Chain A
Amino acid sequence: MAKSAAVTLRSDAKQPEDRIVHPFWVRVTHWINVVAMMIMIGSGWRIYNAAPIFNFEFPRSITVGGWLAGALMWHFAAMWLLVINGLIYVTLSIITGRFQKKLFPIWPSEVMKDIKAALTLRLSHDDLSVYNAAQRVLYLGVIFAGVVVVFSGVSIWKPSQLQELTALFGGYDFARVVHFFAMSAIVGFLIVHVLLAILIPRSLRAMIRGF
């Protein structure tokens, strides 16, 4: 009771629906995406290990699938979850105007200022409903990396039937490299994203209960 009273005070006695930072569909698609991404990244690492592109392998213990066939089954099952959930998220974000409201405009000068503030731990997260410029760039960037990871992945899966797409990614072998770096960008984002969610627990709470 005390908790909710405090929240009510801080938000100047707004109605609950006004205090919602993340609507229900954002929270649901977010957490489905967490499951899909964990499966895709973990199984992808196991698939990578079968024929490493670079001079390293991912530790077996952090991969998903046990062996190559298992990892492939996870990867090609979870891809449907990732893509269908992603399409729902992007479609709803566009028709509700959430993208436009939350992610734009992005001014380079503000991005630089906010990144500097973030690195010195002076970036304010007081109002969870408004993304600062650093957040806007990161969220837009990870959505872009998500699009690239899906299309490059599909181009590796179907280099014959969808050969124009594979050619767009520089051919089969280079498409694997693109797929790898898009994954790396997403993992890089995740590290920052999860760290900040731990540092600012209110943001994690908002992604669970909405405010």
Chain B
Amino acid sequence: MSRNNKKLISGIDTKLFIKDATKLLPDPARRAFLRGGASLGTVAFLAGCDITDGTTAENALSVMSRFNDRVQAIIFGLNRLAPTYPESAITKPFPFNADYNEDQAPIVDGASYRLKVGGLVAEKKPWALSELYGLPQESQVTRHICVEGWSAIGKWSGARLSDFLQRIGADTTAKYIKFICAEGYSTSIDMPTALHPQTQMTFKFADQTLPRSYGYPMKVRIPTKLGFKNPKHVTEMYVTNDYPGGYWEDQGYNWFSGL
């Protein structure tokens, strides 16, 4: 990803493109190709894109992924609600999914838990669980769709993230919100999605306190985004204008990942 020694080529060499397909990303080291990559919105699409030797396909693909971020942001409707379902449609048992085993899910002590808030917000005081439970709560029965393709319907309850952002005096003209989790996981979303009425700081699953495997003490439920954009065990969030990436996003998964 070095900015030096770059050859300027207009368009894409089809032969190289296909040849590179076979060697693309089997090696874990290559998966990191997006780390330190150009920030969102700064990469020109096709016309005038510069392609580095050796990583031609990877660079072209990340340019396309950034382009798809922008297309999805345009398609996204702030008042367009994700489909909701009757409680009879809820998937039982609801699948556990993470890149660790269920018994390795982080254990967070609710009594000492404080949600840290930072970045472009007026009030940076940390929030105790009891204070978060005191926010106006609502429920949704929506479909969780995994990037792998499977889906499951569940019931989540909690506070609207948009309400919370207002309370803490967040700069809602900023571009991004980053979420950091107890186990080191992280993800980030665009501000319009953060302000969407179904984007929820979740404290309950199936009317019970959020179990450890589903993200105790707080998950962020976003029915308009793929599952990996719905972080569990969230301990910190901050508002920023600098592209914040995320655990899977930095490895090549599409950042916007809207539904």
A: residues with CB less than 8 A from B are 35, 38-39, 42, 47-48, 50-51, 53, 64-70, 72-74, 76-77, 80, 158-161, 163, 172-173, 176
**Assembly CA distance A77 to B18 (angstroms):** 13
Are the CB atoms of A172 and B151 closer together than 8 Å?
Answer: yes
| Residues of chain A lying within 8 A (CB to CB) of residue B68 | 76-77
Question: In the complex, given contacts A65-B24, A66-B26, A173-B151, what are 15 additional A-B residue pairs having Cβ atoms less than 8 angstroms apart?
Answer: A50-B147, A66-B25, A67-B26, A69-B248, A69-B252, A73-B64, A80-B64, A158-B258, A159-B145, A159-B259, A160-B258, A160-B259, A161-B76, A172-B143, A172-B151
**Contacts A50-B149, A51-B148, A68-B148; A76 near B64 (Cβ below 8 A):** yes
CB distance from A141 to the nearest CB of B (A): 26
Query: Using a Cβ–Cβ cut-off of 8 Å, how many residues does chain B contribute to the interface with A?
Result: 37
Across the A-B interface, the 7 shortest Cβ-Cβ residue pairs: A77-B64, A69-B252, A66-B25, A51-B149, A50-B148, A70-B25, A160-B259
| Residues of chain B lying within 8 A (CB to CB) of residue A67 | 25-26, 31
Are the CB atoms of B76 and A74 closer together than 8 Å?
Answer: no
**Contacts A69-B248, A158-B259; A172 near B25 (Cβ below 8 A):** no
Among the stretches B77-85, B111-119, B127-135, the one at the interface with A is B77-85
**Contacts A73-B64, A74-B61, A161-B75; A48 near B253 (Cβ below 8 A):** no
> Does residue B174 face the partner (Cβ distance < 8 Å to A)?
no
Are the CB atoms of B61 and A77 closer together than 8 Å?
Answer: yes
Are the CB atoms of B24 and A66 closer together than 8 Å?
Answer: yes
Main secondary structure of the interface of B (DSSP, over half): loop
Nearest to B80 among chain A residues (CB) is: A161
Are the CB atoms of A160 and B65 closer together than 8 Å?
Answer: no
**Assembly CA distance A65 to B20 (angstroms):** 10
CB distance from A94 to the nearest CB of B (A): 26
Are the CB atoms of B148 and A39 closer together than 8 Å?
Answer: no
**Contacts A72-B253, A73-B65; A161 near B145 (Cβ below 8 A):** no
| Residues of chain B lying within 8 A (CB to CB) of residue A35 | 14, 18
Interface residues of B in 186-210 (CB under 8 A from A): none
| Residues of chain A lying within 8 A (CB to CB) of residue B31 | 67, 69
> Does residue B251 face the partner (Cβ distance < 8 Å to A)?
yes
Main secondary structure of the interface of A (DSSP, over half): helix
The number of residue pairs between A and B whose CB atoms lie closer than 8 Å in the complex comes to: 90
Are the CB atoms of B150 and A51 closer together than 8 Å?
Answer: yes
Are the CB atoms of B146 and A160 closer together than 8 Å?
Answer: no
Nearest to A50 among chain B residues (CB) is: B148
| Residues of chain A lying within 8 A (CB to CB) of residue B235 | none
Are the CB atoms of A77 and B65 closer together than 8 Å?
Answer: yes
Are the CB atoms of A76 and B254 closer together than 8 Å?
Answer: yes
A–B pairs, 15, beta carbons within 8 Å: A50-B148, A50-B149, A66-B24, A70-B252, A73-B61, A74-B61, A158-B75, A158-B259, A159-B83, A159-B259, A160-B224, A160-B259, A161-B76, A161-B224, A163-B83
| Residues of chain B lying within 8 A (CB to CB) of residue A77 | 60-61, 64-65, 68
**Contacts A66-B24, A159-B259, A161-B75; A73 near B62 (Cβ below 8 A):** yes
> Does residue B29 face the partner (Cβ distance < 8 Å to A)?
no
| Residues of chain A lying within 8 A (CB to CB) of residue B147 | 50, 68, 72
Are the CB atoms of A39 and B149 closer together than 8 Å?
Answer: no
Nearest to A64 among chain B residues (CB) is: B21
| Residues of chain B lying within 8 A (CB to CB) of residue A160 | 80, 82-83, 223-224, 258-259
Interface residues of B in 135-173 (CB under 8 A from A): 143, 145-151
**Assembly CA distance A67 to B252 (angstroms):** 10
CB distance from A75 to the nearest CB of B (A): 10
| Residues of chain B lying within 8 A (CB to CB) of residue A163 | 82-83
Are the CB atoms of B251 and A69 closer together than 8 Å?
Answer: yes
